[in-house]
Amino acid sequence: MDKKFKTVDSSRISISQLMQPSHSNFGGKIHGGYVLSLMDEIAFACASKHSETYCVTASVNTVDFLNPIEVGELVTMKASVNYVGRTSMVIGIRVVSENIRTGETNHCNSSYFTMVAKDDDGNTTQVPGLILNDKIEVKRFLKSLKRIKNHYARQEEFDHEDFSLENYIEDLEGHRVKIELPDC
């Protein structure tokens, strides 16, 4: 296989861990920060496996906690490379909890971590391209492209030097917000 491209399957990772009382929050559920830490670890492993180099987290997109995780449940995280740029990768992660006594499973979280490959000197380095083998992989790549495009469009819209609040006041109507700006 050409080393300049790798399949999604070649860097797919799955980990499982039993949730213990030390991982719980004050409400008795598994702490979201602990789950995020595990997600960051699997994103690192997946990205490093694809790039064959050290990787760092550049951003985390869309972290929705869908269902709580209970102490004593087995949590399984699955990660795959959804998108590659020149030096970055978007790693898709799915988190599922399982009651090991009943076998009942719950989808708890899905998220997208953008990871950047680094060389031994700490500089960004090029990553292998991605070989997409099925419609789901193509769809995930396209969804990542769309998220990236929307991110840059939003950034340009609100960070542009011609930005004016007056153009957006109507958008705030009907929301629970009160604007009290000092006269300038």
b/e burial code for range 67-101 (CB count within 10 A of at least 16 → b): eebeeebebbbbbbbbbbbebbbbbbbbbbbbeee
Helices (H), 13-66: 32-51
Question: Which of 118, 119, 113, 117 is CA-nearest to residue 95?
Answer: 113
**For residues 81-96, average pLDDT:** 97
CATH class of 5-131: alpha beta
Contact 28, 71 (CB under 8 A): yes
The pTM (predicted TM-score) of the whole model is 0.89
**For residues 173-182, average pLDDT:** 88
| CA distance linking residue 131 with residue 10, whole number of Å | 10
| CA distance linking residue 98 with residue 70, whole number of Å | 9
Does position 13 have pLDDT exceeding 50, yes or no? yes
Q: How confident is the model at residue 62 (pLDDT cuts 50, 70, 90)?
A: confident
User: Any idea which of 92-96, 111-115, 162-166 has the lowest mean pLDDT?
Assistant: 162-166
pLDDT (0 to 100) of residue 104: 98
* Residue carrying the six token digits 């604007």: 179
Report the SS3 class of residue 140: helix
Q: Under 8 Å CB-to-CB from 34, ≥6 apart: which residues?
A: 23
Does position 63 have pLDDT exceeding 60, yes or no? yes
pLDDT (0 to 100) of residue 169: 86
**For residues 137-159, average pLDDT:** 94
Q: How confident is the model at residue 1 (pLDDT cuts 50, 70, 90)?
A: very low
HSE-up (13 A, CA, CB side) for residue 61: 18
**For residues 166-176, average pLDDT:** 89
Secondary-structure percent of the chain, ordered helix, strand, coil, rounded to 5: 30, 35, 35
